[in-house]
């Protein structure tokens, strides 16, 4: 009767349990961003840099301009 008339069928299975809500991030990378260098803790800088691309230290310059100065003529062309 279940297959032909829809009677006497077992109850449908319950819907799947939704995935648990993930915990909130440990830091709000927008809070205090205008003063991140002085106002953020080292852990917040590290977390926000790696997870939000904010608060990362600037990259080092490609050359040490003090090394070999003032003998500029000894520098390679890319350094000049």
pLDDT, tens digit (0-9, with 9 covering 90-100), for 19-59: 999 999 999 999 999 999 999 999 999 999 999 999 999 88
Cβ neighbours of 46 (radius 10 Å): 15
Rounded to an integer, the average pLDDT of 49-72 is: 82
Q: Residue 62: what pLDDT?
A: 76
Q: How far apart are the C-alpha atoms of 71 and 80, rounded to whole Å?
A: 11
CA torsion angle 50 56 58 60 (round to 10): -40
Query: What is the reported pLDDT for 1?
Result: 76
Q: What local confidence, expressed as pLDDT, does residue 80 receive?
A: 63
CA end-to-end distance (rounded Å), the chain: 89
Q: Residue 52 and residue 55: Cα distance in Å, rounded?
A: 9
DSSP class of 40:
S
pLDDT at 79: 65
Return the pLDDT at 8: 80
């Amino acid at each position: 009767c279940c297959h032909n008339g829809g009677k006497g069928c077992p109850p449908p299975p319950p819907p799947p349990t939704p995935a648990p809500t993930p915990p909130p991030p440990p830091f709000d990378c927008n809070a205090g961003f205008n003063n991140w260098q002085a106002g953020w803790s080292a852990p917040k800088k590290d977390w926000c840099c790696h997870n939000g691309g904010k608060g990362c230290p600037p990259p080092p310059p490609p050359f040490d301009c003090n090394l070999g100065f003032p003998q500029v003529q000894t520098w390679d062309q890319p350094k000049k």
